[in-house]
Amino acid sequence: MLGHSVTADIRVLGREFPGWRPEAVLDTLALARWVWPGLRSYRLDALAAHARLDAPTQAAGHRHRAGHDAVLAAALFTTLARAAASDPDRTVSAARLLRLASPRPAGPHGPALF
């Protein structure tokens, strides 16, 4: 699952689909705080502006709607992953990226989702 500030989304989906749990969670909010510490705001729109990302096309809908936010979160994740990978002071493996983008600290068996 990929999204921005996904903790509430996971809870809602868990209530709607009992027994459902995503295998992995990538939260652009958690990752942005690590890649770009000290920003004034970590709202999705603010991060997109900071990354100079274009808003999704009209086909994806309007801000704060599922289509728009999903497309923007995916573009933001790509930007954040590239920024983390290009920083010589940071070593980013796939496993570390999962931990960094987890909405809560990872436990011994992977990301803590709830």
* Per-residue model confidence as pLDDT tens for the chain (114 residues): 889 988 888 888 889 999 888 888 889 998 899 889 999 999 998 999 999 987 655 445 565 556 678 889 999 999 998 888 777 666 666 666 666 666 654 444 444 433
Phi, psi of 31 (to 5 degrees): -70, -40
* pTM recorded for the entire structure: 0.72
Q: What is the DSSP pairing of strand 2-3 with strand 26-27?
A: parallel
Q: How many helices (H) and strands (E) does the chain have?
A: 5, 4
User: Three-class SS of residue 24?
Assistant: coil
